Structure 1
Amino acid sequence: MLFFSATVLVAGYVRGYGGFGFSMITVAALSLFCAPAQVVPVVLILEVSASLYLLPGIWRLVNWPILSWLLAGVAVGTPVGVWMLGNVSPAPMKMAVAVIIFSLALMLRQGFVVKRRLKRPETMAAGLASGVLNGAAAIGGPPAILFFFSSPVGAAISRASLIAFFLVTDILAAGFCIAASLMTVGHARQAAILALPMAAGLFLGKRAFFRTPETVFKRRVLLYLMMLSLLILIRSAKLFLT
């Protein structure tokens, strides 16, 4: 429990600071000791709780028009990803996605930016990619993260929109878990125990965000994304080799 609490504290800080990353950190770390079926429902409960905690402070900053088209793409792409889950080996696919994400994040960190506001078809395409990856490999976040932080909208709007994005997608995922009887009262009890260190991490991360200049914030977010993509690559390579 000490290790779990420390992991959730760190992941909460990253989530409060950048608006993403909680699931990727906690699932990777806690899966060292527990089966994914035990970990994922707890993480989903904590994810929804984290978004609800952060949402009141950023509600007015969410870019709802862009977010709606992004989520429309997710709705279309998720069934495709689920089909791929049953027909494509997940480990090589995750490895390829991790390499692509790392490369794009590195390119953005080196100064590449999209200088115009993306149109609706391009926004929906980003959501489509997120939905496919979420259904096929449970890593739907990075395309949405790259979409927002490569666009000309400000860091605060990008962070706020990501928090709202993950709230919707996590509620959907939690609903599927409940429907499949994969989420139990025991998972809720474990999430309640871990809620305190997560809340402390969220609070500290949120405070750090408001004290960070926008240019520094974007560089740190992309660095986080590169580190998380390496984490995905290492875990997927281990699964592939075994």
Structure 2
Amino acid sequence: MLEALSGVVDTGGLIWLTLGVVAAGLVRGFAGFGSGMIIMPVASAVLPPVAAVTFMMMAELVGPLPNLPAAWRDGAPRDVGRLMIGCALAVPVGILCLSHMDTTVFGWVVSTSVAILLVLLMSGWRYKGVLTPKLTVGTGALGGFMGGFAGVPGPPVIMLYMSSKLPISVIRANFLLYLLAFDVVMVAVFFMLDLFVWKIALLGLLAGVPNLLANMVGARLFDPDAEVLFRRVAYLVIAASAILGLPIWS
């Protein structure tokens, strides 16, 4: 443990990682999503792909916990369960691709994924149909693959819900439940595939403390009646994460 802790202290980019998880916690607490889109560009700039995902999922496993009871009350846990059926089936496939990915390609995948999401959302397109079980499971599967492959499980699910007619309080709660459940699945799969980078996992747990505090602050800033503000913050987060994640900065 002492040897691992020493390795954590010596990890390059520690200050940037810490600032990233604080910013991510504020956004996650407010919007219910977006933390991975902030953490992954920062983490992928200073860590190899598998280590970057390890850091993100361990930090996010701790941070959102204070907001879990409210999310369970306001959200639709049954829909989130359907998302997770598809997600759990697709995550291992994405992780296998991740473990063989070049670092530069990894950065481009992350940024391109979130940029496409932004363009679709800002185009004004809205899904007017019913969120059927098949559609929900399929969206979860796509999110699971992207989560395992690029560390960003949110884009397909965010696209589905933010283009729907659901109240933003339900959308936010579902995001929070889905992403927390995704992190649990990722931890289990990483254990089974022996992909854990233990030094980075410890660093992620330590980073979960400021992430947790920032989540609590962000949750207090959320107003269920301020839909315009909610969407503007979401668009800003997505745009910033796409730009910061470009490999041209490394």
Shift of residue 7 of structure 1? 2.3
1:13 is aligned to 2:14 = no
Instruction: Determine the C-alpha separation between the residues in 2 that align with 1:98 and 1:2.
Output: 22
The alignment status of 1:131 with 2:180, answered yes or no, reads no
Name the SS for the 1:210 alignment partner.
coil
CA-CA distance at 1:67 after TM superposition = 1.4
Match of 1:64 in 2: 77
User: Are 2:70 and 1:78 equivalent residues in the alignment?
Assistant: no
Deviation at 1:100, TM superposition (A): 5.8
Greater displacement, 89-98 / 165-174: 89-98
Query: What stretches of structure 1 of length at least 5 have no aligned partner?
Result: none
Query: What residue in structure 2 maps to residue 49 of structure 1?
Result: 62
Residues 73-108 of structure 1: CA distance to partner in whole angstroms, max 9, x if unpaired? 213333443565578878668746754642443342
Task: Work out which of the residue numbers 127, 130, 142 in structure 2 matches 1:117.
Answer: 130
What is the aligned partner in structure 2 of residue 182 from structure 1? 196
Letter in structure 2 aligned against 1:162 = F
Note the C-alpha offset of 1:45: 2.0
Amino acid at match of 1:182: F
C-alpha spacing 1:135/1:90, structure 2 compared with 1 (3 Å): farther
User: Post-superposition shift, 1:175?
Assistant: 2.0
Letter in 1 for 2:86: G
Pair 1:177–1:4, CA change in 2 (3 A): same
Residues 38 and 237 in structure 2, CA contact (< 8 A), matched pair in contact too: no
Residue 102 of structure 1 is matched in structure 2 by 115
Residue 164 of structure 1 deviates from its aligned partner by: 0.8
Whether the aligned pair in 1 keeps the contact of 2:114 and 2:241 (CA below 8 Å) is: no
Count of matched residue pairs: 236
- Of stretches 215-224 and 104-113 in structure 1, the one that deviates more from structure 2 is 104-113
Query: Which range moves more in the overlay, 2-11 or 140-149?
Result: 2-11
TM-score by length of 1: 0.80
Instruction: Tell me the distance in 1 between the aligned counterparts of 2:49 and 2:97.
Output: 20
Instruction: State the 1:157 CA deviation.
Output: 0.7
Q: Deviation string for 1:36-64 (max 9, x for gaps)?
A: 55544343222111232210122111212
CA distance in 2, matches of 1:215, 1:227: 18
Q: Percent identity?
A: 25
Q: Is the 8 A contact 2:37 2:238 kept in 1?
A: no
Quick one: structure 1 residues 108 and 54, their matched pair in 2 at CA, closer, same or farther if it must change by over 3 Å?
same
Query: Which residue number corresponds to residue 171 of structure 1?
Result: 184
- 3-state SS of 1:111 partner: coil
> Which residue identity lines up with residue 196 of structure 2 in the other structure?
L
SS at match of 1:14: helix
Do residues 217 (structure 1) and 230 (structure 2) align?
Answer: yes
* Alignment RMSD: 3.2
* Range that drifts further, 163-172 or 64-73: 64-73
